[in-house]
Amino acid sequence: MTFGQDVETRVKEILAEQALIDASDVKTTDTLEDLGIDSLGLVECIFAFEEEFDISIPFNANEPDKSDFDISSVADIVAGIQRLKAEAAG
């Protein structure tokens, strides 16, 4: 689980599970709003990402925009996780 494609696949699967849709329907350009994931769903996803990739994601639900973790789109989330994984391995 160290390569970009694998991270993207797993992120899409986790988001799809939360959104109750098929993973193949999750596009990298989708926002959480597009996927119908609300703030509580997001907190669950963050937890799932941390468990899956063994990383710690700096995220405070009170100020999601200020957190040092971009959740604007699926692609941004994947990039953020890859960066945190690299730092953890670093």
Report the residue number, 39 or 72, with the smaller CB distance to another protein.
Answer: 39
| Residue 20 or 40 having the CB closest to another protein | 40
Q: Which DSSP string corresponds to 27-74? A: -TT--HHHHT--HHHHHHHHHHHHHHHT------TT-TTTSSS--SSH
| Shorter beta-carbon distance to another protein: residue 64 or 83 | 64
Distance of alpha carbon 35 from alpha carbon 88, whole angstroms: 29
Query: Smallest distance, Å, CB 62 to another protein?
Result: 4
Q: Which residues bind another protein (CB under 8 A)?
A: 39-40, 43, 46-47, 56, 59-63, 66
**Position 31: which residue type?**
T
Cβ distance to another protein smaller for residue 2 or 56: 56
* Least spacing, CB of residue 43 vs another protein, in Å: 5
Least gap, CB of 56 to another protein (angstroms):
8
**Of 85, 35, 24, whose CA–CA distance to 57 is shortest?**
85
